[in-house]
Amino acid sequence: MQIVTDAVPGEWTPVRPFEGIMVLDITHVLAGPFATYQLATLGAEVIKVENPQDCDQSRHTGASPELNQSEMGTNFLAQNSNKRSLALNLKLPKGRAILEDLVRRADVLVENFRTHAMDNLGLGAQDLRAINPRLIYCSITGFGHGGPRAAQTAYDHAIQAMSGILAVTGTPDGEAVKAGAPVVDYATGMMAAFAIASALFHRERTGEGQTIDLAMLDTALLLQSAQITGYTAIGKEPARRGNKHNYASQNLYATRDGQIMLAASNTREQTRLFEALGYPDRANKSYQERAAGYDEEQAFLARIMLEKTAQEWEDYLQSRRVPALRVRALPEVLRDTQLKSRTVLHEHPHMPALGGAASVPLSAFTLEHGGPSIEFPPPRLGQHNVEILESLGYGQAAILALQAERVI
């Protein structure tokens, strides 16, 4: 597996898209931190602001109880590399004053608290853009800042339930099933990063800052674009179909030792599938014929797939340009030789929280020039308090006073 490691001090690296951009990250859990993580890997200076008495809850969650106890849970480690940490109590006037000082220098502020929570502190979009008109203020909430649900709160699994995603996942005779990964949170984070990049591009052209209102529910609906258009066009409600797709050649099948997902989607691929199986006459000439013969074709393929192991079918069908991949668990995926040629993971050789090495996801794309990279591991709570405050002109005595007053 090709894994990028921490940069060596003094080595030259290409200029990345967001170098010189300061981002104030007042987010917690997943969608917000994942958005700012995207910007951080592309060169932005990201300052993560957390309450010193009530930090980001993801610091307390993840695979290791010991790391959770030390406020460096793996859920936090996954998406906070390349960020500096400022522990700052925004409920206190002096804490808000420090944030306002940072806003004067910042390009972007991202928050994902309940609707109007920042307004109630005097730190809403209008308040802070009055201080810095060029500021891009991104607010991520469950339902947005307008409408009858604006005051409601939500998490990924709740939005999956409310948006219709959960209703169409699972089998027809079983209960609704949540997607295993928090897909709405991750999609919302990526949507936020895209929105911020768009706003920065707009500012480059016009000089104008602006406010971004981004809702998790809206993102979840975009993830169901085809289903929504199908329903609004002809009134066809999406059905819970489990692993069954539109055609039998696109289903999950049991093999001699595991499961394989056939993905022969178009008619050319379905033809190649049956030619590879030795039954060319079974190929259909139209999508309508494939739909009409669904049950019989599924029963036939279910019998055939039991003749070989999942890996044998994968190797055989892929060699004949038929999309087919067996089901793998994550540990095996991470050992796959394909990853040796990619840079999706970054290895921190010396993760302070662990006392050893650990890998985190980096990016799903590369750029020819100045692509995503990670220079330093996720910070401990308040790790950069002194250097950030000194950059704002605070002396040692003032910093100690802020500590005593529990502002930092």
pLDDT digits (tens, 9 = 90+) for 276-299: 999 999 998 799 999 999 999 999
In a domain, residue 289? The reply is yes
Mean pLDDT estimate for the chain: 94
What's the distance, Cα to Cα, between the start and end of the chain in Å? 41
Residues 151 and 293 in one domain: no
pLDDT in tens, 356-388: 899 999 999 999 999 999 999 999 999 999 999
Of 56, 156, 185, 295, the active-site residue reads 185
Per DSSP, helices labelled H in 182-266 are 183-206, 216-222, 225-234
Residues 218 and 283 in one domain: no
Can 315 be counted among the known catalytic residues? Answer: no
Output the CA–CA distances (angstroms, integers) from residue 296 to 243, 248, 303, in the order listed.
17, 9, 11
Paired tokens of 144 = 């947005």
- Answer left, alpha or beta for residue 16, where phi above 0 means left and psi between -120 and 50 means alpha: beta
- 128 touches 135 (CB < 8 A): yes
Q: Looking at 303, 321, 339, which one is the last position of a domain?
A: 321
Is pLDDT above 50 for 331?
yes
Confidence band of 5 (pLDDT split at 50, 70, 90): low
Is pLDDT above 60 for 330?
yes
pLDDT of residue 228: 96
Residues 44 and 176 in one domain: yes
Is pLDDT above 50 for 396?
yes
Is pLDDT above 90 for 11?
no
Length of the chain: 408
Residues 166 and 295 in one domain: no
Residue 391: CB atoms within 10 Å: 12
- State the Cα–Cα distance between residues 248 and 298, nearest whole angstrom: 5
Residue 224: CB atoms within 10 Å: 16
Paired tokens of 387 = 């250097």
Look up the pTM and report it.
Answer: 0.92
Residues 290 and 377 in one domain: no
